[in-house]
Amino acid sequence: MSINSYLISSLFTPVLSIIIWLFYSNHFINLINILFYTSFIIFIVAFLILLI
């Protein structure tokens, strides 16, 4: 894999979390919660893809 694909995959979760946070509410604790939930969901999906 090239550096660009690693960079895109590593920035996907934080960018998605910030976008959701901007539209949802602007409290810092909610940003931490949304970051946790999105990374957890992405981990579960990636794990299921690896199992299949």
**What is the per-residue pLDDT across 1-44, written as a single tens digit (0 to 9) for each?**
567 777 777 788 888 888 888 887 778 888 888 888 888 988 89
Check: CB of residue 37 under 8 Å from CB of residue 21. no
- Residue carrying the six token digits 């946790």: 36
**H-only helix segments in the chain:** 3-24, 28-51
* Terminal Cα-to-Cα distance of the chain (whole angstroms): 21
Note the pLDDT of residue 1: 59
Note the pLDDT of residue 18: 84
Amino acid identity of 27? Answer: H
Report DSSP state, residue 51: H
